[in-house]
Structure 1
């Protein structure tokens, strides 16, 4: 049984599509199928039911999956220990970041890269839920997000700071001169909002429903950079955390009375897994950035 076979099996189990899994692993589908078959032969049981072009986990596959993940995680931890012994002269740092924290991340990336130029940094942007799946499967070392997690058997979170939701506008927008607005006024303001898969959008929707407000939503986007560019035209406003808008000097924030939503930024780690030195150094830089 080889680690690459476990990696191939885990990816295939997550996607339930050999073609897509092979593409994500940068291998041919025939190579993937061959390695999965060899793993099944060694275990003496099929891990997947093949139904035409579709696959699904067998009972054996479902039972084997958590052990495969644990084995791969332990192997990655072992590799991280060896890399740390080299004194941050080599290795990789894989960071999962929700879009709203990109402005926090950028200066720390510059600082870390200047101090440890031999460490390769891989940044994965996405929604909190998507990134949590990547943390679960050890595709990132830690996660920066606004996801409010209770410590459990799989994850442990450290709070960074709190940031309220606010109206974000360009100075040329008609509402830009207001010191604050009421939540009911959102029905008259053209808005571009983060898509519904975003953590802040979920809590925004709850607050709007509780106040019986139908916002004037013109667009929904899953790309925060494009969303903010639209706001910079002066034609639209958006609602996001104060921290997310912090890096845009061309924009201003306006408090929304009645919208009492506070997002908590946090660092989330896999519980009981080895924390590589590069990750610990990076997260300490982030904490100092917030002081």
Structure 2
């Protein structure tokens, strides 16, 4: 059963004349008759009584017309929905974001929402491990995270920007005036670090390990605002990307080393269809 056949049937029902219906549809009468006959054969019931050149609806045809009309209307609604989707008048995006990207991401989120107010946006913050797991379960359109080593061919990686890793300390701390600091010095400080599931701390554990350093980790906290509150006391310090430092009571001190710059990536499923809304979001992210 095809939508075309339903349209032919409904026009013939409206005009009760195959010749006039065919002319209105800009097809031959034989084509119209053939298509309606195929529809009747599929339904295994006649839709029209054919009396000479006259036609009338059968009882089955009259009942079927209601459902045929609903099908056509639903198809037209679907077409309008797709057009709205293409024109960014409808749709949704689900994005996973690492905690340290929340400040930069919020700026882009506000800009996108202002330009495309009819697009529903759902944002989930989490660790790289959690976000990747959920991405592979098709729960996100894309995620934003540090991820230096692409894994597998099912994921697509787009470099977004570089971020410097910094020691975050209280503005009142004696260290606050430093232009830079070594990883050795950082290892000797009392540290309150992001939760161990966080990709940033995993990166630093590897960095410390390469230099045979054992950092003095006193706390692990999975909330950056809470980390800032701890750091503001002046008793502890933390390590984050400079993209996450925006509190006026703390400062970020660049850590020496060629490996202290990391790449923030847009990661998506390679085979997944990307809507126009997702592509527009990519464009805005690229302007950061």
Task: State whether TM-score is above 0.5.
Answer: yes
Structure 2: gaps of 5 or more residues? 1-77
Q: Is the 8 A contact 2:85 2:91 kept in 1?
A: no
Determine whether 1:96 maps to 2:129: no
Whole-angstrom distance in 2 between the partners of 1:128 and 1:84: 33
Determine whether 1:164 maps to 2:187: no
- Structure 2 match to 1:251: 250
Q: Is the 8 A contact 1:203 1:261 kept in 2?
A: no
Q: Is the 8 A contact 1:84 1:276 kept in 2?
A: no
- Structure 1 match to 2:262: 263
Q: Is the 8 A contact 1:151 1:157 kept in 2?
A: no
Whole-angstrom distance in 2 between the partners of 1:111 and 1:85: 19
- Structure 2 match to 1:154: 154
1:92-241 alignment to 2 at 5 Å? 92-150=92-150, 152-241=152-241
Task: Say if 1:184 and 1:139 are closer, same or farther in 2 by CA, change over 3 A.
Answer: same
Task: Say if 1:259 and 1:230 are closer, same or farther in 2 by CA, change over 3 A.
Answer: farther
Q: Name the SS for the 1:175 alignment partner.
A: helix
Q: Is the 8 A contact 1:200 1:263 kept in 2?
A: no
- Structure 2 match to 1:9: none
- Which deviations, in whole Å up to 9, do the C-alpha atoms of 1:43-100 show, x marking residues without a partner? xxxxxxxxxxxxxxxxxxxxxxxxxxxxxxxxxxx99x93764522222110110111
Determine whether 1:287 maps to 2:278: no
Q: Name the SS for the 1:132 alignment partner.
A: helix
1:33-44 alignment to 2 at 5 Å? none
Q: 1:275, CA displacement in angstroms?
A: 0.3
TM-score w.r.t. length of structure 2: 0.67
Task: Say if 1:84 and 1:270 are closer, same or farther in 2 by CA, change over 3 A.
Answer: farther
TM-score w.r.t. length of structure 1: 0.66
Task: Say if 1:210 and 1:185 are closer, same or farther in 2 by CA, change over 3 A.
Answer: same
Q: 1:169, CA displacement in angstroms?
A: 1.4
Task: Say if 1:208 and 1:91 are closer, same or farther in 2 by CA, change over 3 A.
Answer: same
How much is the aligned-residue C-alpha RMSD, in angstroms?
2.3
Q: 1:164, CA displacement in angstroms?
A: 2.6
Q: How many residues in Structure 1 have an aligned counterpart in Structure 2?
A: 210
After the TM superposition, which of the residue ranges 220-229 and 82-91 deviates more from structure 2?
82-91
Task: Say if 1:239 and 1:159 are closer, same or farther in 2 by CA, change over 3 A.
Answer: same
Task: Say if 1:188 and 1:151 are closer, same or farther in 2 by CA, change over 3 A.
Answer: closer
Q: Is the 8 A contact 2:167 2:186 kept in 1?
A: no
- Which deviations, in whole Å up to 9, do the C-alpha atoms of 1:235-258 show, x marking residues without a partner? 32111112222x334322212235
Whole-angstrom distance in 1 between the partners of 2:99 and 2:281: 18
Q: Is the 8 A contact 1:159 1:267 kept in 2?
A: yes
